[in-house]
Amino acid sequence: MSPVVYFALFFTVALLVTTAYFMMGSLPLLILKHDTPVDARFIRGFFNTSYLAAMGVAIPAAASYALWGRAAFALGAAAIALAAAVLRRKVLSAMDQLRAEIPSSRDDAVRRFRRVHATAILINLLQLVLIVWSLTTFRL
């Protein structure tokens, strides 16, 4: 068996663990009131770390799958890395904008920030479901 298989499996497990960890870790943050810029900054930092971790694991997963000759899995992992990069830019910029609005238009900005937060969690959950589904449906 080629050593690249072990890298692919390692990064697959790391991708599952990272995705599950950040999805479950972001859920309790919903209990925060989101009514201060400090709460918003903490949540933004959490999602920034989440997206960086996803990219940091998905890119080597894609490379190892490509070297192993599993093009579909390589494309899937590359899509996760790309999605994390796009989400990082979009979600964090929305959070930054809303964080700046919280002191002046408190209720509306807090409500929209919570919506962005919840949407990011749902996208992360969808990503986790797709990863597990692909691993159980398609043959490695």
Structure token pair of residue 74: 């390589």
| Exposed / middle / buried, residue 76 (Cβ in 10 Å: 0-12, 13-18, 19+) | buried
d(CA 40, CA 112): 11
How much is the pLDDT for 85? 98
Could you read off the pLDDT of 78-136 as tens digits, one per residue? Answer: 999 999 999 999 999 999 999 888 888 778 888 999 999 999 999 999 999 999 999 89
Say if CB 121 and CB 26 are below 8 A apart: yes
Q: Quote the pTM value.
A: 0.90
Q: What is the pLDDT of residues 25-45, one digit of tens each?
A: 998 988 887 778 888 899 999
The number of helix segments (H) and strand segments (E) in the chain equals 4, 0
Instruction: Say yes or no to pLDDT of 58 above 90.
Output: yes
| 3-class secondary-structure state, position 129 | helix
Full DSSP string of 28-86: GGGGS---SHHHHHHHHHHHHHHHHHHHHHHHHHHHHHHHHT-HHHHHHHHHHHHHHHH
Q: Is the pLDDT at 140 greater than 80, yes or no?
A: no
d(CA 36, CA 109): 10
Residue 133 belongs to domain spanning: 3-137
Domain count, the chain: 1
Q: Does position 6 have pLDDT exceeding 80, yes or no? A: yes
Name, in order, each residue with C-beta under 8 angstroms of 89's C-beta and a sequence gap of 6 or more.
none
pLDDT for the residue 118: 95
